[in-house]
Amino acid sequence: MNTGLFKRLFRDKKLRMSLPRLLIYQELLGARIPLSPQELYQSLLKKQKKIGLTSIYRSLDLFESLNMAFKIINGPSVKYILCEIKDHHHHIICKTCGHVVEFDFCDISKWSKKVMESTGYQVTDHQLNFYGFCKACKKVD
């Protein structure tokens, strides 16, 4: 998603497009690797853009709730990466290097039905992450 699309998304959702939000987005876009809130803070600071850590956390939370960014939790470390896929999708995370790949196939309708039958809930949504080793980190024997 480029900056123009980003701005349009905010307009469509009737959200305020503040400069900090745009700068944080651009920083993530340019990095192309997952960044932690602290890393974002530092790299913005290097560019003479001082954005408070609280503001960074809030923006990242917002991006995540809009399905624009994915939050990678790996033990105590939390990093964010921008999503390329707009519609419903999933992620696989490398447990060694942290590299993330997105994929848009999702085949859990049967599972969802089972959950509804056994719990009586109406399922509206789900989150599911895959973890493993990427091609470069895969153990070969």
- Contact call for residues 122 and 86 (beta carbons, < 8 A): no
CB of 72 vs Zn ion, minimal distance in Å: 10
Q: Is 77 helix (H, G, I), strand (E, B) or coil?
A: strand
Interhelix angle 19-31/37-46, rounded to 10 degrees, is: 100
**Measured between alpha carbons, how far is 19 from 14 in angstroms, rounded to an integer?**
16
Binding Zn ion by CB under 5 A: which of 97, 101, 129, 131? 97
**Measured between alpha carbons, how far is 112 from 123 in angstroms, rounded to an integer?**
7
Binding Zn ion by CB under 5 A: which of 45, 101, 106, 116? 106
Structure-token match 């039958």, residue found: 117
**Site string (41-80) toward Zn ion, x via CB under 5 A:** -----------------------------x----------
Binding Zn ion by CB under 5 A: which of 96, 111, 129, 131? 96
Footprint on this chain of Zn ion (rule: CB under 5 A): 70, 83, 94, 96-97, 99, 102, 106, 134, 137
